[in-house]
């Protein structure tokens, strides 16, 4: 873990600490960051789950000509 120096709104920090039930500002910030990061990961997971479940409804691959598909080529090794 690294140390960071931030200006923090004391009123917002106190309210977050109250809502999260944390004992220190450090614990509050760490829990808030972990919570937000976890929510984003869950949102991405839910989106991918939806795409997997509804792929056939969302994408009509019958209109794709596989002979005309092109894929990016990796750069040649130097």
CA 16 to chain centre: 21
State residue 26's pLDDT score.
Answer: 93
pLDDT in tens, the chain (78 residues): 888 898 999 999 999 999 999 999 999 999 999 998 888 888 888 988 988 898 888 877 777 787 877 777 888 887
Q: How far is CA 38 from CA 5, 19, 34, 53, in A?
A: 24, 18, 6, 22
Residues 6 or more apart in contact with residue 27 via CB below 8 angstroms? 17, 20
| Residue the block writes with tokens 């614990």 | 27
Distance, in Å, from the CA atom of 45 to the CA atom of 75, rounded to the nearest integer, reads: 31
Judge if pTM exceeds 0.85: no
């Amino acid at each position: 873990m690294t140390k960071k120096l931030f200006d923090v709104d004391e009123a917002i920090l106190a309210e977050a600490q109250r809502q999260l039930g944390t004992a220190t500002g450090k614990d509050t910030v760490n829990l808030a960051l972990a919570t937000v990061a976890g929510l984003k990961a869950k949102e991405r997971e839910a989106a991918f789950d939806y795409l997997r479940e509804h792929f056939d409804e969302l994408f009509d691959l019958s209109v794709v000509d596989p002979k005309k598909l092109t894929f990016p080529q990796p750069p040649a090794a130097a």
